A = this chain, B = another copy of it.
Amino acid sequence: MSFTILKVQFVCSGSIDMRKSREETAATRRKIVVTASKEFRKKGIAETGLKELMLASGQQTPGGFYKHFGSKEQLVTEAMNYGFERMLGQMEASIEGAHPKEAFETLICNYLSPKHRDRLGEACPLSALGSELRRLDDETGVVAADGMKKFIALLAEQMKGASSEQARKKATAVLSAMVGAVVLSRLAKSAAMSNSILKDTREFILQS
C-alpha cells in the first residue's frame, strides 16, 4: 500500500493562504454562482447582499467578488442561468425513460408538491422570483424568457396525442397554472389552504 501526499495545508484561524490554485479559483467561482442562485430564490435579489453571499460561499470578505464577476448584475445573470439549467435538468432526469403520459403527470406532480413549495433554494426560478424577473436587466431577462420557453417545450413534448401547435398551447396554459399555483401556495397563511391550492390545480390540469 502506498500513499502519495500531494498537498498538506494547515489552515489556522486567521487568513493564511493567499493566492489559490486555478482549480480552487474555479471552485470558488462555481460556489458563488450556486450559492447566489439559491439565496436569490430564497430571499429575493435586491434583498441578498454581496457580503452575505461571499461569506456563505466560504470567503472571509466581500472584496474578492470582483476577481470573479464584473458586477452584481453579471452574477444575477449567471445565477439565473444556472438555476434554470439545474431545474430543467432535474425535470428531464425525473422522466427519463417514462412514457409521455406518465412523464407529464410526474412533471406536474413534482412541481405542484409541498416539497417544491417549501424548498425555495432549489425551486423553479419562475415561481420563486416570478414578478421580480421582469425588472432585471435585458440579458437576465432573456435568460429567464429562454428558461420559460424550454420549460413549455419540455411539457409539450409529453403530449404526443395532440398536434405540436395544440401541445404548445396547452403546455403554455399548464405552465401558467403551475407557476401561479406555487406562488399562491407560498402566500397562503394556513397549511390546509396552501396544500389545497397545489392539489386543486394538480387535479384541474390532469383532468383537462
Contacts and interface: CB of A to CB of B under 8 A. Distances in A.
Interface of A: 43-44, 46-47, 126-135, 141-142, 144-145, 148-149, 168-170, 172-181, 183-184, 186-189, 193, 196-197, 200-201, 203-205, 208
Copies of this chain present: 2
B148 A172 contact: no
A204 B208 contact: yes
A189 to B, nearest CB: 4
Nearest to A151: B184
A169 B131 contact: no
Nearest to A133: B187
22 contacts: A44-B135, A47-B135, A126-B183, A126-B184, A127-B131, A131-B183, A132-B132, A133-B187, A134-B186, A141-B189, A145-B189, A168-B200, A169-B200, A169-B203, A170-B200, A172-B201, A173-B177, A176-B178, A176-B197, A179-B184, A180-B181, A183-B183
Contacts of A169: 196, 200, 203-204
- Most chain B CB neighbours (cut-off 10 Å) among A127, A196, A197: A197
Contacts of A175: 180, 184
A183 to B, nearest CB: 5
A173 B135 contact: no
